[in-house]
Amino acid sequence: MLSLKQNEIVPDGFSVLISEEQISKRLRELGEQIAADFNGKNPILIGVLNGGFIFLADLIRYINIDLEIDFIRISSYGDQRESTGHVKVLKPLSADISGRNVIVVEDIVDSGLSVKFLENMMSAFNPTDLKFATLLHKPSKTVANIKLDYVGFEIEDKYVVGYGLDDQQLKRNLRDIFIIQS
């Protein structure tokens, strides 16, 4: 059930796809898996801005090992609801990832082109290990040859908002993930 305040910013035509409780439960599972996989390795998690910051912030609270974070900002959507297929870096990494255990944290993977771009770019820095985590994956839309190591939820090809995912920079602050009914 949505709180009154959340309900005020959820327009008609939005339906809950994944609840706050389901997200929290899945993040705990992913955090435990990452902690087990990287125990004693001090990984660096790279959050992909803007959408991935909420997922990253909540995920690291469930990873009970030492870790570092950094951020990169890329764009492949512009003001569109579909990826343009052209990826550009808007904010580069600050950290040196050479010889590091790296986990790139994305909010959503659809075509996979952004992940492929990040994989190629970050591999050039010779990390010891390069893994990818995503909250949401749309397998039916994935065209690039990619490997996702940690997936929160696989979803159908629907336009979703909330929990960091936006609609023209709005609705990121919703606690649940919603489908927008057109």
- The catalytic residue positions are 110
- How crowded is residue 60: how many other Cβ atoms within 10 Å of its Cβ? 18
Cis peptide preceding 120, ω within 30 of 0 = no
Instruction: Region of 30 please: left (phi>0), alpha (psi -120 to 50) or beta.
Output: alpha
Tell me the C-alpha distance between 38 and 15, whole Å: 36
Buried b / exposed e over 158-175, threshold 16 CB at 10 Å, is eebbbbbbbbeeebbebb
